[in-house]
Amino acid sequence: MTVAERGQVTIPKKYRTELGIKPGSVLEMTLDHGVIHVEKITQQDPFEQVFGCLKKSKTTDEIISELRGKH
């Protein structure tokens, strides 16, 4: 790879395909004794983040009542 003027490099297509790297993917870079490691960060689906905070033992009506302040 060649480093561009602004410090950019191109990840070869075979690696992007294998790792599922697409525009907007988040990568983390670490430096270890002169070696750069690049890791794809898997972001959690926004729906899963919200769904996980709901108490599953309540009905939808109970949750809505709580949100509206009607216990």
> CB-based contacts of 44: which residues, under 8 Å, 6+ apart?
none
* pLDDT of amino acid 39: 92
* pTM beyond 0.75: no
Please report, for residues 15, 22, 29, 51, 58, the alpha-carbon distance to residue 66 in angstroms, rounded to integers and kept in the order given: 48, 40, 43, 16, 10
pLDDT tens-digit readout, 16-47 = 999 999 998 899 999 999 999 999 988 766 66
